[in-house]
A and B are shown apart, each in its own frame.
Chain A
Amino acid sequence: MELLWILIKILIVFAVVMLHVMYATYFERKVIGHMQVRMGPMRVGPHGILQPIADGLKLFFKEDIMPTVADKKVFYAAPLICLISALSAVAVIPFFEGFAIANINIGILYIFAMSSLASYGVVLAGWSSNSKYSFLGGLRSSAQVISYEIAMGLSLVGVMMLSGSLNLTDIVHAQMKSPFKIYLIPQIIGFFVFVIAMFAETNRTPFDLPEAESELVAGYCTEYSGMRFALFFMAEYIGMIVMSCLAVVCFLGGWSGPFDVPGIPFFWFLIKVYFFIFVYYWVRATLPRYRYDQLMALGWKVLIPLALFNIVLTGTIKSMFG
């Protein structure tokens, strides 16, 4: 019976996440379109509302092309590694009180583990395509993800120290009991580092060097086509959603809000996650891309020291007043 309930939960979450991924692409095009004084997709359905379905069908029926010199097994495995690791991370996220597929004690670490796994998909995709552009894109991406993962992990240590737990549900409960109700205010430095690392971790603008169109064609997914390309695409958007959820759970108080909305326990959670996803688009429409050495310098020389400072500061304040 319990197993059945877990399976139903997995199905619900999977369906909801996939629906969000579909419409995240639609809203990205709409939001960026309007920011650039364009309309965005308009043809398929009213205001282009059926565009993601048309895109999905197109990608699904496209021919699956594979380079003759590619390493077949790794070429097939790479997009799956990306997608599976991105989807598995969703399992520990608490969407509202008592609703997480797996409420485990090491939720944050689990998400880190899964996001570090995702970099394998990218680097192996680059390597197995046996093409220079793909390879360079893959190398860039993995170097970037490894560097920013450190900053990201350290930025969340402050949250772990304040809440005294690695369990995402417990972190939300601890925030509800804290004086400011959210960790955004006491952990403002951590939040700043986390948000920047979040952009780099998901390979989004201004850190989208792995797929910098003007220099690397499409980076690691240059040689992928049809459904396999779509898998990378989905993995990227699921990654964005997971990172937004993590930010909401760790810094913005999860599902709690200024007042309860009856009947919709996940109302505030969704609003906050949508806000973060909107910020992703906003930044993409606003900022130019970083240069590679600037990216590395920012990660190692600014973000990691800042995150370490935040840990020391949090520890000092906690030991003095806590």
Chain B
Amino acid sequence: MVQLLFFYFALVVIGLGLRIVTCKNPVHSVLLMLVLFFHMAGFYLLLNAEFLAAVQVIVYAGAILVLYLFVLFLVNLREEVKMSPFIEKGKWLGIVGAVVLFITFLRGVMNFSLGPHGEYTIEKVQQLTHTKAMGEAIYTAYILPFEIAGLILLVAVIGGLALAKKEKKGA
């Protein structure tokens, strides 16, 4: 059952991903992206990570994608603009790059091996509930990276404020 669901999610995610980049209408792309995010949340649910699944939908679908939608509306793109490629003969360069990347990934996947199990087993996470387990891990073992991430976000917030601030007249 779990494997069946996994393959369903994986197939839909890959299919939608392809459709999103080939879709002519950017707003349709955003809509398909929304469906994609829900399937990504499905992966998290399969991993017993219900908190991450909910946050995935709230943050990515509920906030970031809406911002994208706003940007699309602001530039008012009904159909994709056709442009000549930036680099002449860039097509071949692209194909070579893609093949190299594909081989790299393939080798990476072939050499994949399961890492050692941590202290959070499935049973423990289910018993603690995922939210609590994650909170405990973040605020004890990984407090430093968490704080650093917080600081980086704070820098971004202050940067945004500085950019959006109105300049005083006569100053």
B46-66 interface bits toward A, Cβ cutoff 8 Å, 1 = contact, 0 = none = 000011011101100111001
- List B contacts of A233 (CB < 8 A): none
Q: Which residue of A lies closest to B56 (CB)?
A: A113
A88-127 interface bits toward B, Cβ cutoff 8 Å, 1 = contact, 0 = none = 0000000000000000111001101100110110011001
- Residue B19 is within 8 A (CB to CB) of chain A in the complex: no
Looking at the complex, which one of B31, B73, B131 makes contact with A139 (CB distance below 8 Å)? B73
Looking at the complex, which one of B27, B61, B73, B130 makes contact with A113 (CB distance below 8 Å)? B61
**Are A112 and B62 in contact, CB atoms less than 8 angstroms apart?**
yes
CB proximity of B126 to chain A, nearest CB, Å: 9
**Are B73 and A127 in contact, CB atoms less than 8 angstroms apart?**
yes
CB proximity of B170 to chain A, nearest CB, Å: 24
Please, how many residues of chain A have a CB less than 8 angstroms from a CB on the other chain?
Answer: 27
CB proximity of A156 to chain B, nearest CB, Å: 13
Looking at the complex, which one of A110, A119, A139 makes contact with B54 (CB distance below 8 Å)? A110
- List B contacts of A73 (CB < 8 A): 28
Known: A109-B54, A112-B58. Is A123-B31 also a contact (CB below 8 A)? no
**Are B58 and A146 in contact, CB atoms less than 8 angstroms apart?**
no
Looking at the complex, which one of A104, A119, A167 makes contact with B66 (CB distance below 8 Å)? A119
C-alpha spacing A221/B55, complex, angstroms: 30
Q: Which residue of B lies closest to A119 (CB)?
A: B66
Q: Which of A71, A73, A105 has the most CB of B within 10 A?
A: A105
**Are B50 and A116 in contact, CB atoms less than 8 angstroms apart?**
no
- List A contacts of B143 (CB < 8 A): none
- List B contacts of A71 (CB < 8 A): 25, 27
CB proximity of B156 to chain A, nearest CB, Å: 16
- List A contacts of B63 (CB < 8 A): 116, 146
B6-28 interface bits toward A, Cβ cutoff 8 Å, 1 = contact, 0 = none = 00000000000000000001011
**Are B131 and A120 in contact, CB atoms less than 8 angstroms apart?**
no
- List B contacts of A113 (CB < 8 A): 54, 57-58, 61-62
- Residue A77 is within 8 A (CB to CB) of chain B in the complex: yes
- List B contacts of A223 (CB < 8 A): none
**Are A105 and B66 in contact, CB atoms less than 8 angstroms apart?**
no
- Residue A245 is within 8 A (CB to CB) of chain B in the complex: no
**Are A106 and B50 in contact, CB atoms less than 8 angstroms apart?**
yes
C-alpha spacing A109/B58, complex, angstroms: 8
Looking at the complex, which one of B31, B57, B61 makes contact with A124 (CB distance below 8 Å)? B31
A134-149 interface bits toward B, Cβ cutoff 8 Å, 1 = contact, 0 = none = 0100010011001001
CB proximity of A295 to chain B, nearest CB, Å: 17
**Are A146 and B27 in contact, CB atoms less than 8 angstroms apart?**
no
Q: Which residue of A lies closest to B67 (CB)?
A: A146
- Residue B34 is within 8 A (CB to CB) of chain A in the complex: yes
**Are A74 and B66 in contact, CB atoms less than 8 angstroms apart?**
no
- In the complex, which residues 70-88 of chain B have their Cβ closer than 8 Å to any Cβ of chain A? 70, 73
**Are A109 and B31 in contact, CB atoms less than 8 angstroms apart?**
no
Looking at the complex, which one of B27, B50, B129, B131 makes contact with A74 (CB distance below 8 Å)? B27
- Residue B69 is within 8 A (CB to CB) of chain A in the complex: yes
**Are B66 and A146 in contact, CB atoms less than 8 angstroms apart?**
yes
Binding site for A on B (CB under 8 A): 25, 27-28, 31, 34, 50-51, 53-55, 57-58, 61-63, 66, 69-70, 73, 129-131
Query: Can you list 8 A-B pairs with a CB-CB distance of less than 8 A?
Result: A105-B131, A106-B53, A112-B54, A112-B58, A116-B63, A120-B34, A142-B66, A146-B66
